């Protein structure tokens, strides 16, 4: 399996903010109640699970996952209709979000790629290298996905 792209973008802000809150709460050791311990555990989990986002492109799929690989997605190249560079807003935030532009998977910043699937689904993946990701994805698709002949493509459309 050829790998066309692999990059891990660290989420420094996630680690700094969550780590600062955890450090502040731990300094209050003698006054910590159950809610504070819950916040500490939740923030520590966020730092562990969502401190980086890795994007990989192989000759078979586009794959992206957060830090540990526990949450992510693998999309076959044959399912991808297009890719373009786009942006996200501060309001859309970071993490995993449902937005008007489709599902957003973002670790940091406001730059992303938008991937459109043949079924109509759109998703956006945050990246500090969106131009490179789209270029490499296009190269992988061109090399490994056989386009349907024009006649076959027309007959596969469902009429309502």
Distance CA 57, CA 4 (A): 5
**Domains recognised in the chain with CATH numbers:** 3-144 (2.30.29.30)
Position 100 scores a pLDDT of: 86
Which tokens belong to 65?
């996952």
Model confidence pLDDT, tens digit, residues 57-86: 999 999 999 887 778 899 999 999 999 999
pLDDT higher than threshold 70 for residue 42: yes
The residue that leads in pLDDT, 95 or 158, is: 95
- Is the pLDDT at 36 greater than 90? The verdict is no
pLDDT of 136 strictly over 50: yes
CA dist 25 and 46 (Å) reads: 16
Distance CA 66, CA 149 (A): 37
Give the span between the Cα atoms of 93 and 104, in whole angstroms: 9
| Strands 122-126, 102-106: pairing kind | parallel
User: Mean of the per-residue pLDDT values for the chain?
Assistant: 84
């Amino acid at each position: 399996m050829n790998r066309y792209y692999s990059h891990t973008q660290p989420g420094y802000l996630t680690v700094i903010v969550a780590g600062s809150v955890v450090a502040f709460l731990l300094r209050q050791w003698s006054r910590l109640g159950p809610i504070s311990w819950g916040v500490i555990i939740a923030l520590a989990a966020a730092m562990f699970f969502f401190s980086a986002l890795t994007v990989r492109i192989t000759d078979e799929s586009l794959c992206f996952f957060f830090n540990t690989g526990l949450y992510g997605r693998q999309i076959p190249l044959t399912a991808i209709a297009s890719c373009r560079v786009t942006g996200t807003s501060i309001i859309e935030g970071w993490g995993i979000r449902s937005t008007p532009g489709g599902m957003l998977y973002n670790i940091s910043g406001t730059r992303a790629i938008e991937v459109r699937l043949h079924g109509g689904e759109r998703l956006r993946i945050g990246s500090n290298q969106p131009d490179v990701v789209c270029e490499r994805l296009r190269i992988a698709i061109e090399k490994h996905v056989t386009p349907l002949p024009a006649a076959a493509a027309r007959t596969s459309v469902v009429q309502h």
